[in-house]
Amino acid sequence: MKDQEILDKIKKGDERALDFLYQKYYKMMTNLVLKNNGTEEEAKDVYQEALLAFWKKAASGNLVLTSKISTYLYSICMNQWRKELERKSRLSREEVDGEEYQGHEDNERLKIVMSCIGELGDVCKKILTYYYFEGLSMNDIAENLNFANTDTAKTKKYKCKKKLDSLIKSKYTATDFFD
């Protein structure tokens, strides 16, 4: 598969393109971390994060590729690993007590949101994640999920979002989001 074909598939939300890229460059990308004091697990994590960042950007249509996909992925991996090394280094020097409480609160809210997403039906999950994560257009969502047209996709997205919002609000206390 050529780079342009891969990009076209990603723009349509075809996850097989993601699988293909993951397998194709796994060794190349993980070696970058492994040869720079990283473990197998860290290498895998860095590559997955880099690939998902690439996937998200490519799916949204915001990616203007001026090099090969492999080169682009390599640069993301390199930056990710550099950041990770810096984070590790910072963690070993600083105290993070002050940030802990706020982080804990955010995590609790995130858990509630995610559990509510889990309660949605598959179609709603797909519509909302395609729209907010991949940034797919309504037209692509309609095509991907075999809806009759874009308007159908828009209506469904609106209903799904409304349902999710009300589910979350019902689980939040008033202070959770009006503080």
Residues that bind another protein (CB under 8 A): 15, 18-19, 22-28, 48, 51-52, 55, 60, 62, 109-110, 113-114, 116-118, 125, 128-129, 131-135, 164-165, 168-169, 177-178
Q: Which is nearer to another protein, 94 or 174 (CB)?
A: 174
Q: Are 100 and 91 in contact (CB under 8 A)?
A: no
Q: Which is nearer to another protein, 59 or 142 (CB)?
A: 59
- The backbone region for 67, taken as left when phi is positive above 0, alpha when psi lies in -120 to 50, beta otherwise, is beta
Q: Which is nearer to another protein, 41 or 95 (CB)?
A: 41
Q: Which is nearer to another protein, 91 or 114 (CB)?
A: 114
Q: How far is the CB of 129 from another protein (least distance, A)?
A: 4
Q: Which is nearer to another protein, 99 or 132 (CB)?
A: 132
Q: How far is the CB of 95 from another protein (least distance, A)?
A: 26
Q: How far is the CB of 29 from another protein (least distance, A)?
A: 9
Q: How far is the CB of 22 from another protein (least distance, A)?
A: 5
Q: How far is the CB of 105 from another protein (least distance, A)?
A: 11
